[in-house]
Amino acid sequence: MSAPADPLVIAGQTLPSRLFLGTGGLPQVSLVAPVLAAAEPALVTVSMRRASGSGVGGLLEQVRGAGVRVLPNTAGCLSVREAVLTAELGREALETDWVKLEVIGDEMSLWPDAVGLVEAAEQLVRRGFTVLPYSTDDPVIARRLVDAGCAAVMPLGSPIGSGLGVLNPHAIESVCAAVDVPVVLDAGVGTASDAALAMELGCDAVLAATAVTRAESPATMARALRLAVEAGRLAHRAGRIPRRAVARASSPMTGRIEAS
Amino acid sequence: MSLRVTVRGAGIIGLSVAEELLRRGHLVRVVDPVPAQGASFAAAGMLSPAAEVWHGEDDVLRLGLASLALWPDFARRLGVRLADTGTLVVGADAGDLQQVGRQVDLLARHGVQVEEWSRRQVVEREPSLDRVVGGVWVPGEGSVDPRQVCAALLERVRVEPEEPADWRADVTVIATGAVLPEPHRHLVRGVRGEILRVRTDDPPSRTVRGWVFGEAVYLVPRRRGSAGLAEVVVGATSEEHDDRPVVTAGGVLRLLAAARVLWPALDRAELLETTARDRPGTLDGLPLIGPTDRPGEWLAAGHYRHGVLLAPLTARLIAEAVDHPYSAVDPAVDPRRFTPREPGGTHALHAQR
């Protein structure tokens, strides 16, 4: 029996899956097509610095050739002003109002600047953008971002590129409970179980980039993540059993056949 | 049989091809309004096929090792210095060392011998690298100065700014790097690389490839005799872009910051030069060497990060194919691998429009 239809909807748009992908760090552009085929992503994030414009035979052309939705991001922006300008650049170059908003507060940890993020989100929403902000795993900040008009929130599991997974599961659960927009776990995914855990905690989608691009076989990891996201989502919906301190026999004791 | 060959492009690839064809007795005209000013001008000149390889790049390693074996004779013939002290691959922290370890596993699978060095062994042998946590040494690799190589080739090969009107070539070899003429233009894109040259009295003695908090950086030392000072090349950034390749402040900053973690003496070095050029990138990261679908029109281009290393092999492959026109082309480098086959048949690497 197949699960009932369970699409991810952001800003009124139905997305084809619950895995977001960043492909910028792939060692060869020719890997883009097999990775996308294996991941079946809802969309691919594109850094406006890496993929400026049309670059013949480049990354963007490959993603578009595969018919996958492109989400420009403001990766590496260190100020509100820089992020807003980069978002405008992305809107013009990629002809989409959607933007994954990053405002980085510290270059070493690439930690989001929560205050700058709220301010940038307010400005971009006023300018007509659909904003998906990369944020800390803080339910209060998540609510502020929704108040600012964000269409989703994207809390980090752990620092970008660290592969440390979901370091504070309770915080991610709290974010999911705090907001009524989709929650996309962003950053920190290192392998399939990290993605599955995020989905079990209640996230609506997972974004992975380095986990795929720097894997020894990127297409294999892409498929593993797709399956993990689907498994985690199903487990979340299935209603897990309570955790108990003592054993409880898996078969009932009554009605058993007596060996006389 | 002696043929008339035009080589378009006088970078290290075009010049090496021309030199080999001239040696074999062909009539060669090389055309380039600005010789040796493209990617060859920026290149660090590492001859390190193993230290540079990554998963999924088996063909790059195979071609690189084959070309590395040709370099000693090539360098001797040209009278250029070849440093053969191997490549040291190091990490700045434990995460970086894991990254080095992944590369060691990969090389072991390919049967490439490396020596693992503890932090102490690294510092004993390379005292200027006293911040690294460990590494591996890949013997047998080395480096050349691509500018010296191009200068030596230009002494042997005459370059003209444009093709003479009365010249009719049997074969034209297009070696224009990142910018190919139509209908080949879509096969190569420019991938910007920024690179620095500094002068120092405390250089590492070998090529160093390092991981610094997840960023890759390399140092290529060149002995320059006078007053014991050496030039060190620090590279390189990599960026997909559509614009003219310019040096950005952020690119220089990232290179300096990463290199300084490995090599603190960088602080006192004189900054000689910052350079940006487009690497000729293909879809699969492999070069285009051989005939195209147009009769008499050949490619020797798209060498991406490997132009200097692959120059003598490219020259030999082109010259062999000119001498034996019906010989098989290595499918890994055959420019026709990107040509769509028959209608309906899809080619995995066919560029979209």
Structural domains present in chain B: 1-84+142-187+282-353 (3.50.50.60), 87-139+189-281 (3.30.9.10)
How many angstroms separate the Cα of B198 from the Cα of each of A163, B88, B132, B192, B312?
Answer: 35, 19, 21, 20, 28
- Which token pair is A235? 């487990």
* pLDDT of B345: 41
Closest CA–CA distance from residue B283 to any residue of chain A (Å) = 5
* pLDDT of B341: 63
- Which tens digit of pLDDT belongs to each residue from B96-147? 999 999 888 888 888 888 999 999 999 999 999 988 999 999 999 999 999 9
CB within 8 Å: B189 and A57: yes
Q: Which of B110, B19, B97, B99 is nearest to B60 (CA)?
A: B110
Among candidates A27, A34, A61 on the partner chain, residue whose Cβ is nearest the Cβ of B352: A61
Distance CA B188, CA B178 (A): 6
Q: Has A100 been annotated as catalytic? A: yes
Q: Which of A139, A165, A130 is nearest to A12 (CA)?
A: A130
Chain B residue with minimum CA distance to A37: B348
- Which tens digit of pLDDT belongs to each residue from A126-159? 999 999 999 999 999 999 999 999 999 999 999 9
CB within 8 Å: A57 and B348: no
How many angstroms separate the Cα of B16 from the Cα of each of B49, B59, B152, B153?
Answer: 19, 21, 10, 7
- Which tens digit of pLDDT belongs to each residue from A200-258? 999 999 999 999 999 989 999 999 999 999 999 999 999 888 888 888 887 766 777 77
Q: Which of B315, B326, B323, B327 is nearest to B289 (CA)?
A: B315
CB within 8 Å: B285 and A216: no
How many angstroms separate the Cα of A151 from the Cα of each of A101, A113, A148, A218, A249?
Answer: 11, 19, 9, 30, 45
A70-73 and A43-47: which strand pairing? parallel
- Which token pair is A110? 């690439």
| Position B219, amino acid | L
| Cβ-based interface (< 8 Å): residues of B facing A | 54-57, 102, 106, 185-190, 213-214, 239-243, 281-285, 348-349, 351-353
| Position B283, amino acid | L
CB within 8 Å: B240 and A216: no
- Which tens digit of pLDDT belongs to each residue from B137-190? 999 999 999 999 999 999 999 999 998 889 999 999 999 999 999 999 989 989
Distance CA A110, CA A98 (A): 22
B297-301 and B171-174: which strand pairing? parallel
Give me the DSSP letters along B167-225: ---SEEEE--TT-PPTTSGGG-EEEEEEEEEEEESS--SSEEEEEETTEEEEEEEEE--
Give the pLDDT band (50/70/90) at residue A49: low
* pLDDT of A1: 43
Among candidates A30, A52, A216 on the partner chain, residue whose Cβ is nearest the Cβ of B283: A30
Among candidates A29, A58, A217 on the partner chain, residue whose Cβ is nearest the Cβ of B55: A217
CB within 8 Å: A27 and B106: no
Q: Hey, of A29, A191, A220, which one would you mutate to test binding to chain B, going by the most B CBs within 10 A of its CB?
A: A29
- Which tens digit of pLDDT belongs to each residue from B22-68? 999 999 999 999 999 999 999 999 999 988 888 888 899 999 999 99
How many angstroms separate the Cα of B178 from the Cα of each of A117, B211, B280, B336?
Answer: 39, 27, 4, 17
What percentage of chain B has pLDDT greater than the value 90? Answer: 76
* pLDDT of A53: 45
- Which tens digit of pLDDT belongs to each residue from B197-255? 999 999 999 999 999 998 899 999 997 666 778 999 999 998 887 778 899 999 999 99
* pLDDT of A260: 60
CB within 8 Å: B241 and A55: yes
Among candidates A51, A52, A65 on the partner chain, residue whose Cβ is nearest the Cβ of B352: A65
Distance CA B74, CA A198 (A): 56
CB within 8 Å: B284 and A30: yes
* pLDDT of A28: 80
Give the pLDDT band (50/70/90) at residue A183: very high
Distance CA A246, CA B5 (A): 84
Among candidates A27, A51, A218 on the partner chain, residue whose Cβ is nearest the Cβ of B240: A51
Give the pLDDT band (50/70/90) at residue A37: very high
Q: What is the mean pLDDT of chain A?
A: 89
Chain B residue with minimum CA distance to A161: B214
Distance CA B118, CA B120 (A): 5
CB within 8 Å: A54 and B351: no
CB within 8 Å: A57 and B242: no
* pLDDT of A26: 81
Q: What is the mean pLDDT of chain B?
A: 91
pTM: 0.83
Q: Is the dihedral of CA B64, B67, B69, B71 positive or negative?
A: negative
Chain A residue with minimum CA distance to B178: A56
- Which token pair is B341? 């086959």
**A14-23, A40-49, A176-185, A230-239: which has the minimum mean pLDDT?**
A40-49
Chain B residues inside the 8 Å CB shell of A49: 239
Chain A residues inside the 8 Å CB shell of B353: 61, 65
* pLDDT of A166: 95
Indicate which residue of A15, A19, A26, A100 is catalytic.
A100
**A43-47, B290-294, B324-328: which has the minimum mean pLDDT?**
B324-328
Chain A residues inside the 8 Å CB shell of B106: 216
